[in-house]
Structure 1
C-alpha cells in the first residue's frame, strides 16, 4: 500500500513557515565541469552563494560534500560514519522531534539525498516538492544573506540497516532473480552510447533503467505516484524484489528511492559509490548495448 508521502507542498510549507518547531534546510550543491582527463568527474561546489542570493525565510544551509560526506573516500558524497553525521546535524540544530523540511535548487536530488541519509539514521524528514524553483515561481517570500542557523542540539542517530550497499554486494546480486538493479542515469549513459565522465561507458550488467529525470515534471515537482508506478513496473521493478538503485554518485538515485518509498516498496537500498566507483574498477563487469 502507498505510504504517507515524504513530500511537502509549497502551500503546506507556507502554512507552517515561522513555526518554532520547523527546521528548514537548503541542501543545494552544484557539480561543475572539470577539464578533460581530470581524476574526478566534476567539482562539487556548495550552493552557499545561491543561498545568500535568495532562500526561503528562516532556512539554514547544509553543505553535503563539506560537512556530510566521507572526505577520505575517492568518490564525492559518500556516506560518512554515524559520529560525523551526529556532530554535523547537531551543529545545524536538527532534532528528530522537530518538523524537518529539506529543499534544493534546480533539481530535488540534493534534498532527496539528505532525506535518504536521515532515514538511514532513523529520522523521517519531508522534501519540498519542486524545491526553491516552484516556491519562487509562485511569488512566495524570499530572504537574502548568510544562514542564521538554528540553536545547536545533541543529535542521536538510531541507524537502520540496509540503506546502503557496496560494490561487492552489487556484484553478488547480478543475475539474482530475487533482485532488480536500477540505474537512475539517462538512457544514453545506461546504454553506453556516450562517453561517461565516470570512466568506462555502460551499466552494471543486467540493470534496468528508470532515469531520475523522467520522474520529474517541468516545474521541478516529482511525477504522480501512478506514473512512477507504471515506469517502474515497465522495467520489472516489483514489490517482491530486492531493489538496488544506483546512478553516478549516489545522488539522483535517491529520487527513484523516494518515489518507490512513497509507493510502499520496502526492500530498497542505494549503491552509494555508484558508477563513480564501478566504471573505474576494471575488475568489475560492465555492459553496453
Structure 2
C-alpha cells in the first residue's frame, strides 16, 4: 500500500475529523501526492506529538550555549566530515523512513528547480552541480553542506552573468522542462526498523545544534541564511512562468533580513515544503504544456 492509500482509505468521522486527512485531500497547494502523504503521515506520529514540544526548547537552548561557546573558541572541534557521518548515522538508525524520504527528495528536487531556472533564461550558462541521492550513503560526502554552497553559487553566478550580458528575465512562452522529473524518484527503500521513529521536524530540531557545533560560526550562519533565498528562487521562477499566484506560501522571506539561528530548524522545514510546492507546480505546468492546454 502506498503512503497516499493510507489517507485514501482513511474513514471520515464527521464528529472527529482527522486534520491531516483534510490537508491531504485539499488541492489548493501544489504537492506531489505521495510526498504529501509521507510528510503528513510523519506529522501525525507520536514522535512529533509528544517529543517535539519537549525537545525543541532544549535544542534551542543548546544553540544559545553553542553560540556563546563559539565566541570563545570559534573553530574548536569543527569537522564537516564528522558532522556528516553523524548525520548519516542518525538518519540510518533513528529517523523514520518517511522523514528520510522527504530529505532525499529535497536534494533531488532542489537541483531540478535550479536547473529549470537556468535552462529558461536564454543566454546564461551557469555551471551546475546537481545532487540526486537515491539512498543515504551520499550523506557522508558533505551532502548538506554542498547543498547550501550550490544554492549560493547558483545565485551569485547567475546574477553575474545576467549583469555582464545585460540579460532580462522574461516570461517564456515555451518552457523547457528537461530538468523536471515528473515520474516517481528512484529512491531506494530506506531503513524502517522499530528504532526509526523520529519524525522530520523533531529530527531537524535535534540535529540543528549538532550541525552548529561541528561547523564554524561563519559556516553555520551562512547555512541558516541560505533559507532566506527561498524568496529569491520563487521570484526567479515566477518571472519565467509569468505567475506568482501559487508561490504565495513561501515563508522564508526577505533575503536582506538575516534571521536568528534559533528558528533555523522550523525554517528548514518551511524551506523543504517551499521546494516541494514549486517543483509540483512545475510538474503540473509540464503536463499542461505537453497536452497543449493553457498553463
For this structure pair, what is the TM-score category when the shorter chain's length is used for normalisation? under 0.3
Structure number with higher helix proportion = 2
TM-score by length of 1: 0.25
TM-score by length of 2: 0.25
Structure of higher RCO (CA pairs closer than 8 Å, 6+ residues apart): 2
Query: Larger radius of gyration, structure 1 or 2?
Result: 2
